[in-house]
A and B are shown apart, each in its own frame.
Chain A
Amino acid sequence: GAGVSQSPSNKVTEKGKDVELRCDPISGHTALYWYRQSLGQGLEFLIYFQGNSAPDKSGLPSDRFSAERTGGSVSTLTIQRTQQEDSAVYLCASSPSTGTSGYEQYFGPGTRLTVT
């Protein structure tokens, strides 16, 4: 079946502009995660959605970052007034959260954001 998809794959934007990054999770997966990965570094947790519960926003680095998940499926990560330090790869992952797979996460290919 189809995996997790993200768009765009690459985004170059000017400092101060707003950007929207999209994630389409695997159908039926109730959990969705956003991570940020700077060049050659590990994963920085940003936000977590689980079904209809309130999202866990504890990883968002500032109030310029926000995310929503519509209808329990597609998610959009929005970064307002982008700064150069926002340049990174943004990864999305989804998880079934139940069954034999447990909390195994399935990752998308990521969006590489470059702020000039």
Chain B
Amino acid sequence: AQTVTQSQPEMSVQEAETVTLSCTYDTSENNYYLFWYKQPPSRQMILVIRQEAYKQQNATENRFSVNFQKAAKSFSLKISDSQLGDTAMYFCAAADYNYGQNFVFGPGTRLSVLP
């Protein structure tokens, strides 16, 4: 079974600065997906970025990028030029490539962007 760990329960960053959220996971599978989800105070969960494990290139979506270290089973999220609207809970998740029910979320990191 997969496990996902987020070691930072809370973080804060000044507006316009860069912040990195950590995530580590454990899986015995060779093929899997990794995700970062954002849940703002409005509570709607939104996908931020996804990474296929077989791809070596780190995924990037505008101000959001990941540092995927497969050997270390690490999947950190970097937010550049932080904006007030980035204030939210961020959840890291992992899913088996072949078995969709094995979709595991981490406990979340609460990020506050300060003006």
Binding site for B on A (CB under 8 A): 31, 33, 40-43, 45, 48, 50, 56, 89, 91, 93, 95, 97, 102-107, 109-110
Q: Distance in Å from the Cβ of A109 to the closest Cβ of chain B?
A: 5
The 9 A-B pairs with the shortest beta carbon distances in the complex, nearest first, are: A107-B45, A103-B95, A42-B107, A48-B101, A43-B105, A103-B100, A56-B101, A97-B100, A42-B108
User: Which residues of A are found within 8 Å of B44, using beta-carbon distances?
Assistant: 107, 109-110
B45→A102 contact, CB < 8 A: no
- How many residue-residue contacts, CB under 8 A, span A and B? 56
A102→B50 contact, CB < 8 A: yes
- Given A42-B106, A109-B43, A102 contacting B95 (CB threshold 8 A): yes
User: Which residues of A are found within 8 Å of B46, using beta-carbon distances?
Assistant: 107
- Given A43-B105, A89-B43, A107-B45, A31 contacting B100 (CB threshold 8 A): yes
Q: How far is the CA of A50 from the CA of B52 in the complex (A)?
A: 21
B100→A104 contact, CB < 8 A: no
